[in-house]
Structure 1
Amino acid sequence: MTGVRLLTAPTTGPDDISALELLADNGFGTDDVLAVVGKTEGNGCVNDFSRTLASAVWEPHLKEAAVTVFSGGTEGVIAPHVNLLVADDRVDPRHQRGLVAAAGTTPAIPPAELGRVAHMESVRDTVAKLVAELGIADDDVHLVLVKCPLLTSTDIAGLRVMGVEPVSDDTYESMARSRAASSLGIALALDEIDTDTALAALEGRRHAWSNRASASAGAELKSCHVLVVGESDKAANSLRALHTEMKDAYDLDSLLSAAALVSERGGRIRQLFVKAEADPSGTIRNLRHTMLTDSDINATRHARAAVGALVAAIKGDGAVYVSGGAEHQGRPGGGSVTIVYEVDPPRFTPYNTTSEGIAR
């Protein structure tokens, strides 16, 4: 069981690892880091090498079991930053519950399998393994972050030489197919959908999704990096989490409702992990949008900018994790939402009132 702390720090660029100082200031070392989850100021598309640079400078400082998840694209008000998920098994007796996390990687995803059943099953098995390691129920999981590979033009050409048809001959579309397979694997692992539903969804139907899945794709890795975050009665720290979804790109009500619930629980928002996408129907609340037909700016960039403004307003600053491309991560046109928040310890009372009277 691994209780966690969350440390968030702004970055001056993809190569900025000054958050290591924040780590040390809080009494932790690099071996305590389970995952580095960040937003980098690239385009978030196939040739976003800001993700590659961030991974390259961070990974030499981390233990082999740790993972990096860098999402490119800080359009609009989203601020470049990193979130450090740090193992902290210290027990605070004032808390009877706490946030836990586990990280791992799938085996390498061969280009021929990317976006297909084997890819989905590999993520499913890895997520299930991590949930079992944490010893928590599926319902206690609030977020599964996956960083998955994409197909490069070299990958596609190599498959064609071997007589193998890739899942897509478009590198940008391969990102979507990779995110889809990863997200459906998460939904399977958490028992949110059955195998038949997942297989149909993998073929392009958008009738299945998980509100706890967050997947982003990049050229900086060949396997999938996986981070599972949940709550456990066996941990004792001040962090908690909840998950919900945005029904469309300006579903402010869902964000406000989640923030109100955090407040009711006596919590303060520490971070939001949100997926965003251009509604594939081409409309939002019966009005046409042009995100999918803009030849100058990719649709994922539009979506991140729009949703990022809402999410930043809820948190009160721009260091929010908003990732574009939400295939099976929340309903079509919407997106999954996870809020990590901090609560004050309950006030100590020497007696507890029960139905049996006063018990010491």
Structure 2
Amino acid sequence: MRTTSVGVFKVATKGPGDVSGLMSLIVSGAIDPAAILAILGKTEGNGGVNDFTREYAVAALCTALAPKLDLTPHEVEQRIAFVMSGGTEGVLSPHITVFTRQQVAKPLTGISGKRLSIGMAQTRDFLPEELGRSAQITETAKAVKAAMADAGISDAADVHFVQIKCPLLTSERVEAASARGSKTATISAYSSMAYSRGASALGVAVALGEISPDLRDQDVLHRYDLFSKVASTSSGIELMHNVVIVLGNSGGSASEFEIGHAVMSDAIDAPAVVSALTSVGLDIAPQTSTGRQLVNVFAKAEASPDGTVRGFRHTMLEDTDISSTRHARAAVGGLIAGLAGTGAVYVSGGAEHQGPAGGGPVAAIARLL
């Protein structure tokens, strides 16, 4: 019995505070604000610790949606999962992707098979000394399972992308831990982003049975043979818990949309991107495909930690002027944009334990026409 329908809307933005596109869709009736479950966005900041375009974008969206939902902006942020990924280097274009979920009495004609489903969950708040360690792995795994249940997905094979927003450390948070006699995984705010992303990704892998749950703190950022094929994690200063969004396909969904994924082995793995597109019935140039329409592509990118790509040296880790994550986003973003026919794709940097080292998951969502 198909009981829910998931909608997906990609909206271009003129800046991190631009909510005009979303508001237009709400005013026109295309989007019911009460049905919005999650919003994923790419903002044009640097993607680093001090990238406040992420917080600015969330604040603008919450302020705009508050009167539509008869809630305070703070209550909106508690109700809707916001994941803003900073950095639109190269041809990447700033945009947001809005996910809605509604109950339906009768599915549209032609809807069959497993269709797009979405679920959301949150962990408890973490202590600073828990970031990047087994506590974050364990609590994330619990939240992933809860989000799967919320999405109506029971088979891990039907999960195609797990997006997580996770915390990072600040000097104040490190000092707070030290005052309690505890030591954090790192005292570097920038390094803490990687630790948090990595532990969160390992939590996904544990929840989906991709790896054994017998992990140690020291496995994070060291055992790169341990990874998830569907995890996408992004660090931010604006929270101290993990927000988990599970995207997959379910027989209980009456959605017009479908999601599929593949795993990039490195930053130039074009066949993997093609595989993700074809998994949802799209050609390499989706804009010319018949019967299906590309909505968005979601991917992770990182500079290969061994300093090479297919035997040739890269300099992404040696460039002190530009962060390696910015290099990686630009490279992978350009590759995907060329194959997808659009620069408005969601590519997030920092893929620790998200796909094999130097690679990362790539997922595509298509709409049935």
TM-score by length of 1: 0.91
Residue in structure 1 matched with residue 28 of structure 2 by the alignment: 25
Q: Which of 219, 225, 241 in structure 1 is aligned with 2:243?
A: 225
Tell me the distance in 1 between the aligned counterparts of 2:244 and 2:150: 13
Q: Which of 277, 282, 303 in structure 2 is aligned with 1:263?
A: 282
Tell me the distance in 1 between the aligned counterparts of 2:4 and 2:77: 16
Residue 31 of structure 1: how far off its partner (Å): 1.6
The answer to which of 130-139 and 113-122 deviates more is 130-139
Residue in structure 1 matched with residue 363 of structure 2 by the alignment: 338
Contact preservation (8 Å) 1:66, 1:104: no
SS of structure 1 residue aligned to 2:108: coil
Tell me the distance in 1 between the aligned counterparts of 2:237 and 2:31: 30
Contact preservation (8 Å) 2:301, 2:329: yes
Residue in structure 1 matched with residue 266 of structure 2 by the alignment: 248
Contact preservation (8 Å) 2:118, 2:150: no
Contact preservation (8 Å) 2:303, 2:327: yes
Residue in structure 2 matched with residue 54 of structure 1 by the alignment: 57
User: 2:95 matched to 1:81?
Assistant: yes
Residue in structure 2 matched with residue 309 of structure 1 by the alignment: 334
The answer to which of 264-273 and 64-73 deviates more is 264-273
Structure of higher CA gyration radius: 1
**Structural RMSD (CA):** 1.8
Q: Which of 5, 13, 17 in structure 1 is aligned with 2:7?
A: 5
Residue 215 of structure 1: how far off its partner (Å): 0.3
Q: Which of 16, 37, 41 in structure 2 is aligned with 1:38?
A: 41
Tell me the distance in 2 between the aligned counterparts of 1:116 and 1:286: 32
Residue in structure 2 matched with residue 355 of structure 1 by the alignment: none
Residue 23 of structure 1: how far off its partner (Å): 3.3
TM-score by length of 2: 0.89
Contact preservation (8 Å) 2:4, 2:254: no
User: 2:324 matched to 1:322?
Assistant: no
Deviation digits for residues 275-315 of structure 1 (CA, Å, limit 9, x no counterpart): 00000001111111111111110100000000000111122
Tell me the distance in 2 between the aligned counterparts of 1:145 and 1:306: 21
Q: Which of 126, 133, 136 in structure 2 is aligned with 1:116?
A: 133
Residue in structure 2 matched with residue 287 of structure 1 by the alignment: 312
Q: Which of 72, 82, 88 in structure 2 is aligned with 1:68?
A: 82
SS of structure 1 residue aligned to 2:165: strand
SS of structure 1 residue aligned to 2:282: helix
Contact preservation (8 Å) 1:184, 1:198: no
Deviation digits for residues 156-188 of structure 1 (CA, Å, limit 9, x no counterpart): 222223321111111111000000011011111
Aligned residues: 344
Residue 260 of structure 1: how far off its partner (Å): 3.5
Contact preservation (8 Å) 2:49, 2:236: yes
Tell me the distance in 2 between the aligned counterparts of 1:212 and 1:75: 23
Q: Which of 147, 155, 163 in structure 1 is aligned with 2:181?
A: 163
Q: Determine what percentage of the aligned residue pairs are the same residue.
A: 41
The answer to which of 265-274 and 225-234 deviates more is 265-274
The one-letter code of the counterpart of 1:294 is D
User: 2:98 matched to 1:95?
Assistant: no
**Contiguous gaps of at least 5 residues in structure 1:** 345-360
**Contiguous gaps of at least 5 residues in structure 2:** 66-75, 284-289
Residue 199 of structure 1: how far off its partner (Å): 5.8
The one-letter code of the counterpart of 2:324 is A
Distance 1:54 1:63, change over 3 A: closer
The answer to which of 266-275 and 21-30 deviates more is 21-30
Residue in structure 2 matched with residue 352 of structure 1 by the alignment: none
Contact preservation (8 Å) 1:277, 1:325: yes
Residue in structure 2 matched with residue 16 of structure 1 by the alignment: 18
Contact preservation (8 Å) 2:276, 2:362: no
Deviation digits for residues 81-121 of structure 1 (CA, Å, limit 9, x no counterpart): 00000113332132023211112221112111111111111
Contact preservation (8 Å) 2:221, 2:353: no
Tell me the distance in 2 between the aligned counterparts of 1:159 and 1:337: 36
Residue in structure 1 matched with residue 73 of structure 2 by the alignment: none
Deviation digits for residues 184-232 of structure 1 (CA, Å, limit 9, x no counterpart): 1111111111112576632621011112100000101121111111111
